[in-house]
Structure 1
Amino acid sequence: MRRNILITGASSGLGAEMARQFAAKGHHLALTARRVDRLEELRSEILAAHPDVEVVVHQLDVNDHDQVFAVTKQAAADLGGLDRVVVNAGLGKGVKIGTGGFAANAETAQTNFVAALAQCEAAMEHFYERKAGHLVVISSISAMRGLPSTVTTYAATKAGLAHLAEGIRLDLMGRKNLDIKVTTIYPGYIVSEMNDVVASEQKLMADTATGVRSIVKAIDKEVAEASVPGWPWVPLGQVLKRAPLGIVRKLV
């Protein structure tokens, strides 16, 4: 069992719900986010429901790369080692390319890819030292194709993150002396703080608890990749990969 789990971006949305569901399964948790007050509230909630688990919290801005490495090391020390790291922190900001929104797009690119790279580096350093561990990256179903308008940059960063994870997975192939796995999760439409504005209008949107339950199930299986929830996102993901661009534009 990968007992000790670090989750970034755990103050709300998918990260917070993953923390609740993993705690219910008996995992000890290290939770990080910028909003440490929310982390403390979540910690109190989890400990009230599951007093046998250990929960530590650390304030972390993932764009402070030195802090990413320092907090990862501290969380490992707090729990006596990390068995799984979930790279979840991310942004959904975006503006159509060429319309004056570079600052917002650059912030999304920095957070969703460069900061994720720092998290993967820190996690893998720890796992290589222990010769064991499970790296999980939260990509997006939007990573399947280039997408238009306000989601162009977001989709590109999530595709980059998926390729980063696959490259790490390739490094591990044939290394029989290592018990290290890499999982890429492609969530479909799941209610979170990032998308709550459009949640009421999106017919395919899963509620947070249901959507995260499918994420946790895939993570526990340690599959290489998973589109979640399986229905309808496994078939729709395949459509996105193969459909002509005109159809892709209508789908999104």
Structure 2
Amino acid sequence: MQLVKQENIRNFCIIAHVDHGKSTLADRLLEKTGTIPPREMRAQVLDNMELEREKGVTIKLKAVRMNYDLAGQKFILNLIDTPGHVDFSYEVSRALAACEGAVLVIDATQGIQAQTIANLQKAKDQNLKIIPVINKIDLPNAIPLEIEQQVVEVFGFEKSEIIFASGKTGEGVEEIIKAIVERVPAPNGNYENPLRGLVFDSSYNEHLGVVAYVRVVDGKISENEKILFMRTGATCEPKEVGYLFPDFKKGEG
């Protein structure tokens, strides 16, 4: 049984050039939606690989569910944080395929960079709704109005579409969340149909075995129900089904 109506679900990712503040902005989204209590909050909370935390760079895409109330309605916001470095562009492509929208983050001190353009083009190829965000406006050398004009001229966005924000101070984060709810379309698909989904990532857990991250398009995933992987013809029976909040929580798929 669905606790939130399908029209109140939003699937989106955050894309940007490397070091433009995606993961810090994701921290503020998790904080603002109450997904992570303040006492458990730490910098770049979704970057859980040792190398990611050491280098401060996202390497693997990360998925997390957030709950949000707006105007008396409950929404589920499914976020995928993506890498910004060109070496991990395949991770971005897989994330985009699982979403209907993308938050495009642009550094207010650097402006449009190579992966800004590349990732935006990938998002457009998937027909995603784009929300442009000029980040790091709190920095002393930020030139947000100049970058805004650059974004308008190069990408063709209207000024009214662009959000100014700071992942460090939290300024503009509430506006970003509202834009996600209002601009990103709800997923298509039918809960009553047979299962159809996309495996957008996987990992191995020494206690659980193979963990598959699935964007469900139609139907639902149930424990011990046989699933067919169309590309390989392999089958499996899930032993546990749940979602990331940001840690695994058992629940209906």
- Taking structure 1 as the reference length, what is the TM-score of the superposition? 0.42
- Taking structure 2 as the reference length, what is the TM-score of the superposition? 0.42
